[in-house]
Amino acid sequence: MTIHKEGRGLILATTVVAVLLNITVASVPSYFSPTVYSVLSTTVLVLSIVVLLLVLQFFRLPAIEVIKNEKQVLAPADGKVVVIEETEEPEYLQSRRKQISIFMSPINVHVNRMPVAGKISYAKYHPGKYLVAWHPKSSTENERTTIAVKMKNGTEVLFRQIAGALARRIKWYVKEGQPMEQGDEFGFIKFGSRVDIFLPLDARVTVKIGDITKGGKTVIAEF
């Protein structure tokens, strides 16, 4: 288990603020009665530790073993399956597709991983709103990225990082023409968010609504 690079600055800042706050509290005991000061100092210390632990858990980066299989689609994110439906993908593929959406809560690992191997054929960032991630219009109106990958057999799979009401920092690490392996990290979304993935209509979905996924581990569909 390590800490993701996206969280190092925030963790440092949180630690500095916590230390300074506790030093400040420790320097003013004469302003309070012993009982009040004891409660205050203990409360500030406990809250500082809790906040720091929450930040650390959010940016955790567990080591995983990716089992690669060109006939399988791996979950691009940790979270819960909230949508499985046939829909139109109008931005790039411009065709009917099977959509699987995974909602990522603040307690999930927020690393995003390649569901299949191939070459990045499309990558675009869209500024937008910050509707709650499960809102029906979040996939078309929220801040988001759209990334497509072309597999070696010519099949294209598209996935979309979508910001939520709290998630306003989408990070992506790929560009068009870049080759990627299945399970490679392609991005990160800070705080609650969602990832949509669009598959060919002949893909067989292997998850159901409410299932919990692990990015780079859970098989969500097969070709």
Q: Which residues have a Cβ under 8 Å from the Cβ of 48 and sit 6 or more positions away?
A: 18, 21, 22
Nearest to 163 by CA among 122, 199, 134: 134
C-alpha to C-alpha distances, 160 to 8, 35, 203, nearest whole angstrom = 25, 54, 18
C-alpha to C-alpha distances, 103 to 7, 165, 209, nearest whole angstrom = 20, 12, 11
- 27 is known as an active-site residue: no
Please tell me which residue in 48, 101, 139, 193 is annotated as part of the active site. 193
Residue 62: exposed, middle, or buried by beta-carbon count in 10 A (0-12, 13-18, 19+)?
exposed
Distance CA 147, CA 23 (A): 47
Catalytic residue set: 193
